[in-house]
Structure 1
Amino acid sequence: MKAYIFVLALLIIAGCKEPTEKLRIQPSKTKPQKEAGLLDPDSADSLYLTDKDIMEIQAKNQLSKKEALMKIPDDRTILKAVVESKKLHKETDDYLLDYTYPYLNETVDPKYKTFNAFMTESYLNVERTVNEILEDKELLCDTLSIKRYRDKRIIDFKLHANDRNLVSILLYKENYYSGMLHSTYMFDCLNYNVDKEEFIYFDDFFIAGAEKKVFDIINQTIYDQIHSGEMFYDCWEISDTDFKAYKNNFVINDNAIEFYFDDCIICPSYTGQYSVVIPLIEIMHLIERYQQPLLLASR
């Protein structure tokens, strides 16, 4: 029985942690590194956790992760005449979908139709969503070979109002899969220029050839935050492959640009850390719009 409980405790700690040899930032040689997490596997106390103890720890951790996302600053009230919160709710015996998503008021400006059409096609297609859930389950960490709950996907959003008519939106997806120890999180970021009726991506926002420099800044930020204690020691540098996959996943506010990554990309699931914040002043030299005045001044 003790061995069984010990294995469960290790599962909580391990989460979806990357192997140590893969892209892990090495700790200082002068300061011993202690495994970050909810429990210390070397502690005698971890051998005597009951199933109830483990469930309580997981529930508390899941709540703190969700609360942290809900506390992200949001400009929805500022743009309430333009941005509406709409709902989609669908239940079957196998799954539940509960979406809160942004809708731009087309009576204010017909140009918003492009954005709403994209949302409908990309997120409100129920058949596609169900297929995505089935595909995602094959890539999960922390799976157990038991059937406990219906699969669920819950979507909500945060919105940032920017100058130059740029609307920056974070969509966060909370996924509950049958056989999982806890829910997982996925993120999509949308930046939409309402004047030009187009979405803004990495190559639109940053100057040509900025990929390698932004990649290095993100990894340096992760390294610095781990060693300052702002990020768990169990987090790691992002790989070049993952950067290419997530480089368009950023939101912009007046002071910073924030890159978002799904569970298990930069940190184990239990940490509740998904993003890297870079102050605009540190990356301004790579942003396209800040170079335009300099080009005009040089002529």
Structure 2
Amino acid sequence: MKTIIIIFFALLSISSCKQQVDEEKTPPQIIGVDEDAMHTNPADSMYFINKKIQEKQLRSQLLKKEGLIGVENSIPAIQGLVESKSIYKDADDYLLDYTYPYLNERIDPGYQKFNDFFAKNYLNTERTINEILEDNEIICDTLSIPRFRDQRIINYKLKSAQNNLISILLYKENYYSGMLHSTYMFDCINYDSKNQEFIYFDNFFIEGSEKMVYDLINKTIFDKRYTGDVYADCWQLSADDFMIYKNNFVISENNIAFYLDDCIICPAYTGEYKVVIPISQITHLIRSHHKSLLL
């Protein structure tokens, strides 16, 4: 009986967002098949391959979401101070589902500054709808599939509400037509409720500390990547991206976590978005008048 050998490449490129990352290649598998395989429609084979990739990605997507939802809120001291409000818009072409934080102005009328800022920057649903309807460019993980409803889901995790520090992780989950699964984007909001001031990188860290914080973030990624951690497929943060995302940090317990969007330091399928640095390693870079806010 004549044997036909077909060589399959075991490693398929799943994500287009990771570039030039050192990875070990899985050797090609050699699989024996019968002669009927010669008459298999290549389109059918590609369908099953794509289906398996899609199933793997969907499983990965569930794990990504579970990991994000599993990030616990800082429950103590939040009751009555931070309330959750919602916006829900369901249309033929899009779905908006927002759950967002609102500071109780009955406790302190000065909280209106926070609420106005949030409404202006995140609750402009008309602008969001226009962005969704006009957005035809898919950045990563695209597939040629029929269009479906675009969706944007906003939710948040309260990381700190103690020592006059309100630290919030805001995450946006986007489902775009033509994408295999959703993408995640993050904003971090830090607010000094006593002085009614927003906290940003430049007024939280000492002057000229960008390079030191940047190096510390990349050292953390490097250490995790080469210790068999889940960052094995990730790469270091570029200087340009650091300047874009340097304000994306939240403070909780004994850590400061920098959050980065999909495909900035890791492929989308990994579900890794943050770099966590112990406060003990970064205290010397924090301005003295802000150290009282740390837990």
TM-score range, shorter chain: 0.7 to 0.9
Considering only CA atoms, is the larger Rg found in Structure 1 or Structure 2? 2
Report the counterpart of residue 121 of structure 2 in structure 1.
122
- The alignment partner of 1:10 has SS state of coil
Contact 1:76/1:158 (8 A) holds in 2: no
State the Cα deviation string for residues 182-203 of structure 1 (Å, max 9, x = none).
Answer: 1100000000111111210001
- Taking a change above 3 Å as real, the CA distance of residues 215 and 166 of structure 1, as seen in their structure-2 partners, is same
2:17 is matched by which residue type in structure 1?
K
State the Cα deviation string for residues 206-234 of structure 1 (Å, max 9, x = none).
Answer: 00100000000000110000001223322
Q: Count how many residue pairs are aligned between Structure 1 and Structure 2.
A: 272
1:251 is matched by which residue type in structure 2?
V
- 1:128-277 equivalences under 5 Å are 128-133=127-132, 138=137, 140-277=139-276
- Taking a change above 3 Å as real, the CA distance of residues 52 and 9 of structure 1, as seen in their structure-2 partners, is farther
Contact 1:76/1:83 (8 A) holds in 2: no
1:19 is matched by which residue type in structure 2?
Q
Report the counterpart of residue 34 of structure 1 in structure 2.
24
Contact 1:284/1:290 (8 A) holds in 2: no
- The alignment partner of 2:256 has SS state of strand
Structure 1 position 91, deviation (Å): 1.6
Report the counterpart of residue 17 of structure 1 in structure 2.
17
Give identity over the alignment, percent. 55
Report the counterpart of residue 56 of structure 2 in structure 1.
57
Q: CA RMSD in A?
A: 2.7
Structure 1 position 44, deviation (Å): 5.7
- Taking a change above 3 Å as real, the CA distance of residues 137 and 118 of structure 1, as seen in their structure-2 partners, is farther
2-side partners of 1:135 and 1:235: how far apart? 31
- Taking a change above 3 Å as real, the CA distance of residues 136 and 227 of structure 1, as seen in their structure-2 partners, is farther
1-side partners of 2:81 and 2:148: how far apart? 38
TM-score where L is the length of structure 1: 0.83
Structure 1 position 41, deviation (Å): 7.8
In terms of mean alpha carbon deviation, does 172-181 or 133-142 score higher? 133-142
Contact 2:167/2:251 (8 A) holds in 1: yes
Contact 2:152/2:172 (8 A) holds in 1: yes
Structure 1 position 43, deviation (Å): 4.4
- Taking a change above 3 Å as real, the CA distance of residues 48 and 154 of structure 1, as seen in their structure-2 partners, is closer
2-side partners of 1:41 and 1:97: how far apart? 44
Matched, 1:280 2:279: yes
2-side partners of 1:269 and 1:86: how far apart? 29
1:278 is matched by which residue type in structure 2?
I
State the Cα deviation string for residues 16-47 of structure 1 (Å, max 9, x = none).
Answer: 43221xxx5x6xxxxxx535xxxx58446899
- The alignment partner of 1:283 has SS state of helix
1-side partners of 2:174 and 2:226: how far apart? 31
- Taking a change above 3 Å as real, the CA distance of residues 51 and 139 of structure 1, as seen in their structure-2 partners, is closer
Q: Structure 1 stretches of 5 or more lacking a match? A: 1-5, 27-32, 294-299
- Taking a change above 3 Å as real, the CA distance of residues 175 and 48 of structure 1, as seen in their structure-2 partners, is closer
In terms of mean alpha carbon deviation, does 86-95 or 267-276 score higher? 86-95
TM-score where L is the length of structure 2: 0.84
In terms of mean alpha carbon deviation, does 181-190 or 224-233 score higher? 224-233
- Taking a change above 3 Å as real, the CA distance of residues 163 and 185 of structure 1, as seen in their structure-2 partners, is same
- Taking a change above 3 Å as real, the CA distance of residues 52 and 139 of structure 1, as seen in their structure-2 partners, is closer
Contact 2:250/2:257 (8 A) holds in 1: yes
- Taking a change above 3 Å as real, the CA distance of residues 104 and 43 of structure 1, as seen in their structure-2 partners, is farther
1-side partners of 2:18 and 2:57: how far apart? 20
- Taking a change above 3 Å as real, the CA distance of residues 77 and 44 of structure 1, as seen in their structure-2 partners, is farther
Structure 1 consecutive aligned stretches of length 4 or more whose deviation exceeds 6 Å: 6-9, 45-48, 290-293
- Taking a change above 3 Å as real, the CA distance of residues 43 and 208 of structure 1, as seen in their structure-2 partners, is farther
Q: Structure 2 stretches of 5 or more lacking a match? A: 1-7, 32-44
Q: Which has the higher strand share?
A: 2
Matched, 1:79 2:81: no
Report the counterpart of residue 36 of structure 2 in structure 1.
none
Structure 1 position 148, deviation (Å): 2.9
Matched, 1:109 2:103: no
- Taking a change above 3 Å as real, the CA distance of residues 41 and 124 of structure 1, as seen in their structure-2 partners, is farther
Report the counterpart of residue 37 of structure 2 in structure 1.
none
